[in-house]
A and B are shown apart, each in its own frame.
Chain A
Amino acid sequence: ETGVTQTPRHLVMGMTNKKSLKCEQHLGHNAMYWYKQSAKKPLELMFVYSLEERVENNSVPSRFSPECPNSSHLFLHLHTLQPEDSALYLCASSLSSGTRDTGELFFGEGSRLTVL
């Protein structure tokens, strides 16, 4: 139990489907992140929410749409994805100022996405 829970753990979808990934943290943090992890590539930061405001969008295609309704929940809405979007999507949380002082993010175990 990492304190950060992601669902579903595995998802297979067609290119015309619409699905959502969910992340929930029980650590009292106020910053949440989406990372993409593909084989042979570094973890890529996609979105950052701090105090429920989106503070970073790293040139992510519009077919990925994040939502942060409160400091404990984060969603990633997916639509008209491409096969190259198949990857492990990791959610993480931290105290927004704590990352500077501790360099520590708390990750969930990820949602393995396969786009057919």
Chain B
Amino acid sequence: GQSLEQPSEVTAVEGAIVQINCTYQTSGFYGLSWYQQHDGGAPTFLSYNALDGLEETGRFSSFLSRSDSYGYLLLQELQMKDSASYFCAVNQAYSGAGSYQLTFGKGTKLSVIP
């Protein structure tokens, strides 16, 4: 089977740094994606790690360790607008003509407080 684990809720102070962890168990693993979803909005893509290491995109960074089946999303200089749900998702192949699917975790609700 496959599973992803991430914390359900995190609270952090404006201007601080927060790390959201994700562990996974899956077959046919290609990479780990992160998505942000504000209440009432569409999930939007943040980052993708196919190789071990850190990917940095502005205030957001994402890390992957394939050997540990573990990744995290790091948010720096937190702003109030970062309050949202954050989902990790494993990218994996499945039967079909070169098809790939994303399997999502339950999401972490981040609350940024003044």
Decide yes or no whether A2 CB sits under 8 A from chain B: yes
A50-B102 contact in complex given A107-B42, A108-B42, C-beta closer than 8 Å = no
Given contacts A42-B4, A50-B97, A55-B96, contact A105 B102 (CB under 8 A): yes
In this assembly, does B69 line the interface, its C-beta being within 8 Å of a C-beta of chain A? no
Residue A115 CB within 8 A of the other chain: no
Q: Chain A's interface: helix, strand, loop or mixed, by majority?
A: mixed
Interface residues of B in 62-89 (CB under 8 A from A): 87, 89
B102 to chain A, nearest CB (A): 6
Across chains A and B, the number of contacting residue pairs, with CB separation under 8 Å, is 83
Contact of A102 with B98 in the complex, beta carbons under 8 Å: no
Smallest CB–CB gap between A108 and chain B, Å?
A: 6
B54 contacts the other chain (CB 8 A): no
Q: Would A56 and B45 be within 8 Å (CB), given that A43-B104, A99-B91 are in contact?
A: no
Residues of B at the A interface (CB closer than 8 Å) are 4, 30-33, 40-45, 48, 50, 87, 89, 91, 93-107
